[in-house]
Chain A
Amino acid sequence: MFEIIEKNLKSKEASRASLVQLRGQKRTMTLCTVLNGVLESFSQIDLSGVSARTLVQSKSWGFSSTNRLKKENVEQTLKTAVVLASASAKNKPKEAKVKELPAQVATIKADAKKPFEKASLEDIKEIPFDACQGAMEAEVASAKATFLAVQDQKWFASSEGSRIYQKLTCLLLFVDVIAKRGSLYCPASENLGHTGGLELFDMTPPASLGKEVAERAVKLLSAKPPPSGKFQVILHPTICATLLHEAIGHPLEADLAMEGGGFGDYVDKPVMSKLVTIYDDGMVERGLGYLPYDDEGIKSSRTFLVKNGVLKSFMHDRTSAAAMNVLPTGNAHAWDYSVEPLIRQTNIGIEKGDFDEKEMIEDIKEGLFIQGTFGGQADASADFTFGFQNAYWIRHGKLEEMTRGANLSGNAISVFKTVDAVSKNVVLRPGACGKGQFAIQGRVVPAVRCEILVGGAGS
């Protein structure tokens, strides 16, 4: 791939731009979905393509991509990117200049104990079948298991001399169960995922994952709806991950932060509870956001965003870093070759605290232990809504009966001011994001205790 893209860097078109970034990619995805014991889909998807991103007059970006790799197609793609970048250059105010950076030359291959490449199609098929089989409990109306492997090879070449090759494989297993009694439906789900090989299933075999989800869904049939109103709660890592990503993470992305609101210009000021330290780290091994170099060729490292409650940094690409006069943090990511890089989280995390789960429960007079996520959304000012799958009542320091799920809402910055306990135990979770384009990411999360608005229909 380097042969296809590299020579364009010396072309006449390239010389019209102040910076040229070329990316090539090959991606193979294998998908196998089993619904109620019947194979619903078994697919293989082979994609490849190149893109050109150019900066013109040091202030205007243009981007173009194609799936066709012939010489003339790639040349035309670069030409289009330059034309596009020039189209609005005259309207744009002069912004801070993107800093020149030393060239990076690297070859990265993520480790796997049991490489996916060695698995046969028969082996692959067994994974969702086992998970679905495990979920076939009484009262389960529907059990769906989806296995997905994404094998990526990425090439990056820039006019600054960077040449980076990265080979990464992500594996994911999704289990979605709906239990039914009469006209009552109760859903439950759980995902597994990492960057690596089939050792993903050594700790949690697919069948046991299916069984766990199904048992939870069936148990929910006998549970009451959760209450509504403001409660002291413990957020299990599964739901803490969603809150962290959606409502804290997004407002910490420099492009969204610059929109105003949210964390605004609070750098070096306290913004949340002293017990909270938040970072983003593209080098977390096995994390779905393990990306040693970003899509502008910047090397990943751990960026502290909030340290002991004090705002320290935002996540940056080169443009936002220039605007705020700081160094880029390696957060420019594109979902695939076909789209431009945006500021994205890699593996966002909260550092572990001092509490064990029992201690966190003991201090609650009346509250909820909230588990599982049904996804959610948030805006730049950190207002959020997201669904949880189930909860347990906590009364007088004791965990009591289970309730069904509902949504939580509020402003995450206000919620994180109320954090008064963070658990010792942290887990690596799979995550996803849909900020304009898709992304798979990691989250490293403990349980946290805080106050939150619960939108249940019960009393």
Chain B
Amino acid sequence: MSLAHFEEGWQFLGDTARKVVRQLERKGASAVEAFFSASRTTEVTIRNSQVLTENAIEDMGVGFRVATVDNRVGFACTNIVGNEKALIETGEKAFSIAKLSPSTPHFALPANEKSPYVDGLFDKEAANVAVTEFVDVAYRLIHSVEDIDRRIKAKDGRVSCSYSKKGIVNSFGVDKEADETYVFAYVLGTGMQNGEVTPSCYDFELKRNFKLNPEDVGAKVGEMVVAQFNPKPIESFEGTVVFEPEAVSYQICDALIHALKGENVVARNSPWVGKIGSAVTSEKLTIVDDGVLEKGFGSRNFDDEGHPSQKTVLISNGKLESFLHHAATANKLKMKNTGNASRFNASFEMAKQIIGNGYKAKPEVYPSNLTIRAGKKDQSQLVSKIKKGLLVGSMAGFVQAGSGLISAQLVRAHYVENGQVKYPVKGGMVTGIAFDWLNQISDLANDSKQFQNSVVPSICVENVKVIGSR
């Protein structure tokens, strides 16, 4: 579809969604919300030193949440948006589902409040980049990885840009729209030495414009691969571990998000229920959710229910200050809505992955940019203090929901002794309870990196159990 067709389709979708909301209100619904979104994504994928495919995907749809006077709630959505009839039917379907649902007592939608304007979330140029430029960036990624060392191959990668639009209309005066662009450039490399393949090493850029630095990303990946040559197995021990941003952003952030999510506080699954005002982590740790970070990948003017974005202090010098909320969890717990309704988070739950995100999903609480306050030292200064331990670049394996158990495979890790990085580690795991680790943090570095929904530095954790494969 041409851009003009796309904009036209969007206009029709918004107008019709508004009409359906008003119709359902007239038919007796006490609260109605339409969330409509559209995206045009172009992506080029890399496989085995070549561009594998070029894809262009466009999607547009609407989801209706409808509540009856006694707070029975139904949801229905569709991407059949070319005619009014299909949208009306979808709204009606949500209403009929609501009527036969039991009541959800604390259901709530936000009222209309003015949203901030966050700079740098949309770039007109990025929305119109020609596919040949994607191909160019892809080949530059491949070459810059492989130029580092002839034993390295670029195995996998992606260059993509989404031009995405979202709109929200509800019965309480919310009527907001926003345009955003999301640019992603990623490359993964491995090296072959003595018949042995190194672990996968990758790096990426998450941006809002198409000003990419494929040479930097590629070179960094190449260097990571070289650092993995000649790995050695290690013995089991307990020691000091510096987790690099990648490792922090994954398992450790997942544990944090689980503990901070409003739904888990409501369900009393969070280990931090009732602990507001108390120390829950090392006093070295300060965490904010920053929805208004300029050019931030997880930033937005308003959340996916239309509540204004904000900056929320979650943990201040180890003390729990707030949880993350959307309208319903805030209402249930009589706390303030923090603007963390999200329909785009990457859930591991199978049912949610099947359903998909955006207009297909009901909002759930999720951070915008979960930001761990960086320290003042370089990562190398943290490593130089280690007597016996590891520098962990990346780990595989999920954190166990609720318990916070991490038992992760070391993917990219180096053994450290007396402040010296000795050699890459072959196999092995680290294990412990994430919430214990958060109390064992002895320092943080100044190397913060942007991930999809977080901005985090390297952190140093004492007394971590390392399982060797020897």
Contact = CB atoms under 8 A, between A and B. Distances in A.
B188 to A, nearest CB: 10
Contact of B56 (A64, A186, A255, A405): A64
B278 interface: no
A230 B429 CA distance: 12
Interface in B76-107: 76-82, 86, 90, 93-94, 96-97, 100-102, 104
B32 interface: no
B56 A409 contact: no
A438 interface: yes
B418 interface: no
Contacts of A40: 104
A381 B197 contact: yes
A141 B74 CA distance: 26
B268 interface: yes
Interface stretch (B203-211, B335-343, B377-385, B404-412): B404-412
Interface stretch (B173-181, B283-291, B347-355, B444-452): B347-355
A187 B401 contact: yes
A64 B55 contact: yes
A148 B356 CA distance: 13
Contacts of A229: 236, 467
A33 B192 CA distance: 47
Given A33-B351, A39-B102, A68-B9, A380 B77 contact: no
Contacts of A162: none
Interface residues of B, number: 89
A41 B53 contact: no
Contact of A185 (B200, B397, B402): B402
B465 interface: yes
Contacts of B398: 374-376, 387
B167 to A, nearest CB: 16
Nearest to B436: A457
Given A46-B90, A61-B54, A380-B197, 13 more contacts: A36-B267, A38-B104, A43-B74, A43-B75, A70-B82, A84-B55, A84-B131, A87-B134, A142-B268, A186-B403, A338-B59, A407-B397, A432-B353
Interface stretch (A205-213, A258-266, A352-360): A258-266
B29 interface: no
A340 interface: yes
A49 B59 CA distance: 9
A42 B102 CA distance: 10
Given A45-B78, A183-B271, A387 B353 contact: no
Contact of A457 (B50, B101, B407): B407
Interface in A117-152: 121-122, 125, 141-142, 146, 148, 150
Contacts, number: 270
Interface in B183-200: 190, 192, 197, 199-200
Contacts of B431: 228, 406-407, 455-457
Interface of A: 29, 31, 33, 35-36, 38-49, 61-70, 72-73, 76-77, 80-81, 83-85, 87-88, 91-93, 121-122, 125, 141-142, 146, 148, 150, 172, 174, 178, 180, 183-187, 191, 228-230, 255, 258-261, 338-340, 374-377, 379-381, 383-387, 405-407, 409-411, 432, 434, 438, 440, 453, 455-457
Contacts of B213: none
Nearest to B138: A88
A85 B54 CA distance: 6
B11 interface: no
A41 B90 contact: no
A89 to B, nearest CB: 10
Interface in B388-442: 396-398, 400-405, 407-409, 411, 427, 429, 431-433
User: Which 10 pairs from chain A and chain B are nearest by CB?
Assistant: A385-B409, A261-B197, A455-B407, A185-B402, A84-B54, A407-B407, A385-B397, A409-B409, A67-B79, A455-B429
A379 B395 CA distance: 12
Q: Which interface residue of A45, A386, A411 has the most chain B CB atoms within 10 A?
A: A45
Contacts of B80: 46-48, 67
Contacts of A43: 74-77, 97, 355, 362
B71 to A, nearest CB: 11
Nearest to A49: B79
B48 interface: yes
A69 B82 contact: yes
Interface string B251-264: 00000000000000
Contact of B74 (A42, A69, A186, A340): A42
B1 A68 contact: yes
Contacts of A260: 153, 190, 192, 197
21 contacts: A29-B354, A29-B355, A36-B267, A44-B76, A44-B93, A45-B78, A46-B79, A47-B61, A61-B53, A92-B50, A142-B402, A183-B271, A185-B269, A185-B402, A260-B153, A405-B400, A409-B409, A453-B429, A455-B429, A455-B431, A457-B431
A63 B96 CA distance: 38
A150 B351 CA distance: 10
Contacts of A174: 349-351
B407 to A, nearest CB: 4
Contacts of B354: 29, 148, 150, 172, 432, 438, 440
Nearest to A191: B350
B467 to A, nearest CB: 5
Given A187-B402, A407-B407, A42 B353 contact: no
A340 B97 CA distance: 33
Contacts of A259: 47-48, 153, 155-156, 190
B57 A338 contact: yes
B104 A39 contact: yes
Interface string B30-61: 00000000000000100110111111111111
Q: Which interface residue of B75, B132, B431 has the most chain A CB atoms within 10 A?
A: B431
A39 B429 contact: no
A31 B76 contact: no
A172 B353 CA distance: 13
A66 B56 CA distance: 9
A258 B193 CA distance: 17
A383 B236 CA distance: 19
A310 B409 CA distance: 28
